[in-house]
Amino acid sequence: MKVLVPVKRVIDYNVKVRVKADQTGVDLANVKMAMNPFCEIAVEEAVRQKEKGAATEVVAVSIGPAQAQETLRTALAMGADRAILIQTDQDLEPLAIAKVLAAIVAEEAPDVVIMGKQAIDGDNNATGQMLSALLGWPQAAFASELALSAGSAKVTREIDGGLQTVEVALPAVITADLRLNEPRYASLPNIMKAKKKPLDVKELSALGVDTAPRLKVLKVAEPPKRSGGVKVENAAAIVSNLKTNGVI
């Protein structure tokens, strides 16, 4: 069973994001980048499935600039067998990414796609669902537990009322939630081994995919700063403040 794992290069989650002065986007200059945390969980799960014997090959794929090779090397160090970079300097939106991934799926013919439910930069939570629709494959989103078997996947997902277990026929698209696992740290020997694992680089234009933007960012701004709290004398004052200001 071949598992395809898309991964994305994003600003490290420990870094405070800065908005550009002209509010056209986020400042990426001299900022530490890393693999999207949900993508890390997806890679970890794919590797665990291989270790269990449910999967035979794990292929990591990323869409982005040349620097995304570092992100793919991280996936290889975690246990992926090989990697593919679709190189582009365009900032693609979810539909375009889903189209590119669909083209890769057509070439690689994986049995299952395991990917993060969302990226922490755009927070769109849309690519997995769009990819499923484009491929005509079943999907199981927000997986907190996964069991792969011949021809099917059983996924436990968190819902408002508790836990829901669904079973989908393969091939399928599965998106990973936070509680699916805890990603491993890549050891130094595995980091060294990752340098020798195959990493293919393809130009986005070679795929012949329509990646024209359908969305336009009008403005990016920081959230308003939180104001200080207000001391009140009694419950009546709390109610009054809630009525007039909507806050305590």
3-state secondary structure of 9: strand
Distance from C-alpha of 116 to C-alpha of 126, rounded to nearest angstrom: 10
Instruction: Pick left, alpha or beta for residue 6 (phi over 0 → left; psi -120 to 50 → alpha; otherwise beta).
Output: beta
CATH architecture of 2-245: 3-Layer(aba) Sandwich (3.40)
pLDDT of residue 234: 86
Measured CA angle at 201 (ends 198, 206), to 5 deg: 140
pLDDT of residue 68: 95
Would you list the domain boundaries of the chain? Answer: 2-245
pLDDT of residue 246: 65
Q: With both helix axes pointing from N to C terminus, report the angle between 37-52 and 68-78 in degrees, rounded to the nearest 10.
A: 30
Tell which residue, 82, 59, 76, 78, has the closest CA to residue 1: 59
pLDDT of residue 248: 52
58: tokens are: 């794990």
156: tokens are: 């436990």
This prediction has a pTM of: 0.87
| Residue with the two structure tokens 């499923």 | 132
Collect the ranges in the chain with pLDDT lower than 50. Answer: none
